[in-house]
Homo-oligomer: A and B are copies of this chain.
Amino acid sequence: MNHILDWRAHAGSAAEKFYKTTLWQGEHVMVGLNCLEPNQTQGLHSHQGADKLYFVLEGEGKFTIGNEERTAIAGALVVAPAGIAHGVTNMSGARLSLLVAIAPGPK
């Protein structure tokens, strides 16, 4: 298995909803890449028993984490603790790419 990979080689777009792909699935964590084109949204949802991390790779997104709503740009770490509702919308004119990790990952 390859233990080193570059997210840029895995980016993409999806006309419906948004683009998502798994980069690595371990026993204790799943790592993926989400790409949202302008106006695409990941609706509010929560993971019971799993913490979620987003790291903004490019672009900017309007994140909701529980009662917080804030815009985050490349370089931001956004955390959604287990059970807390979270979502993100790309209100900019360029692609929003997010490294995401869910621990533990879905079985």
Binding site for B on A (CB under 8 A): 3-8, 23-24, 26-29, 31, 49-51, 53, 55, 57, 63, 65-66, 68, 70, 72, 75-82, 99, 101, 103-104
Contacts and interface: CB of A to CB of B under 8 A. Distances in A.
A8 B77 CA distance: 10
Contacts of A57: 75
A72 B4 contact: yes
**Number of copies of chain A assembled together:** 2
Given A3-B80, A24-B79, A26-B81, 4 more contacts: A3-B66, A3-B79, A29-B51, A57-B75
A50 B104 CA distance: 10
A105 to B, nearest CB: 9
